[in-house]
Amino acid sequence: MINIVNTVEQVREQVKAWRKEGLTVGLVPTMGFLHEGHKSLIDKAVEENDRVVVSVFVNPTQFGPNEDFESYPRDMEKDAALCEAAGASLIFHPEPSDMYLDGYSTFVDMDTLTKGLCGKTRPIHFRGVCTVVSKLFNIVCPDKAYFGQKDAQQLAVIKHMVRDLNFGLEIVGCPIIREDDGLAKSSRNTYLNADERKAATVLNKALTKGKEAVMSGEKDAAKVKAIITDIIEKEPLAKIDYVEIVDWNNLEAVDSTEGDILTAIAVYIGKTRLIDNFIVEGRN
């Protein structure tokens, strides 16, 4: 059975032993309830490192007061089986009280990149993400850490944080993994009932049309946004949080689809907020 440890000291001890043997270490930070998307990150980490640590921690500081921290799905047994089958070496599964000691008061906050897109409706989210990810980097001291492109803003924010704070590791971004009908894999898909699950395919359908327009030469970002918005608005169970086209290098809004662009959307399907995106690089 894969080794599951709960304390910072246990992780440090294990990593120290690996380092003594000259082994490289990869980290896959997760909030658990692992699916094929997480598995693809673990697979990549196993391919590129001698040992892989998967952290499973539903991080309270990245959830707003009315968000789903309490109800976020959890299944440690299934997570352990997936990690073991994928070839991970260790699971770090701390309690909130192990990560945030009594009187905890230090946070990592970013002035740029975190205010738009998901940051608009989730104002404390990226402060919580940057804080917990910094802590995980300090605890595990990995050579490389793996993040999915599905959370594109998170990936950009973490790359920027690593640069700003001189963390000595490489961030590896991994492609979005989708269900057969195109819905991006997400732990939150389990919140959807049967009708909502069908309706949720509208995110990828809309993005696919948007991407087709960009690839066939549409340079006007407003027109691409309109194509995406129109398709989503036709789905009665969907309510748009945002449809944005931004520069993939700094997440600032753009008028043109030239250069490196991230087209990102957040859509409520019933009460469940889903995100998805596509990135197109180097168009001119």
CA atoms lying within 13 Å on the CB side of residue 183: 19
Spatial distance between the Cα atoms of 157 and 6, rounded to a whole number of angstroms: 27
In the complex, minimum distance from the CB of residue 218 to ligand PAF, in angstroms, rounded to a whole number:
31
The smaller minimum CB distance to ligand PAF, of residues 157 and 199, is found at 157
Lookup: tokens for 88: 């991970």
Structural tokens at position 148: 């999915």
The 3-state secondary structure of 199-225, one letter per residue:
HCCHHHHHHHHHHHHHHCCCCEHHHHH
Write down the catalytic residue from 38, 93, 125, 160: 38
Complex with ligand PAF: residue 14 or 30, whichever CB lies closer: 30
In whole angstroms, how close is the CB of 125 to ligand PAF at the nearest point?
8
Output 243-248 pairs: Cβ under 8 A, ≥24 positions apart: 244/116, 244/117, 245/221, 246/116, 246/117, 248/152, 248/156, 248/279, 248/281
The least distance separating ligand PAF from the CB of residue 20, rounded to whole angstroms, comes to 28
Binding site for ligand PAF (CB under 6 A): 29-31, 59, 62, 129, 132-133, 151, 154
If the CB atoms of residues 36 and 255 are measured against ligand PAF, the closer one turns out to be: 36
Residue 220 Cβ, how far from ligand PAF at the closest point, in Å? 32
Distance of closest approach, residue 258 Cβ to ligand PAF, in angstroms:
30
Tell me the two tokens of residue 128: 């919580």
Residue number with CB closer to ligand PAF (55 or 257): 55
Helix (H) or strand (E) holding 115: none
| Residue number, 228 or 265, with CB nearest to ligand PAF | 265
132 phi/psi in degrees, rounded to 5: -70, -35
What phi-psi label fits residue 202: left (phi over 0), alpha (psi between -120 and 50 degrees) or beta?
A: alpha
| Catalytic annotation present for 38 | yes
Catalytic annotation, residues: 38
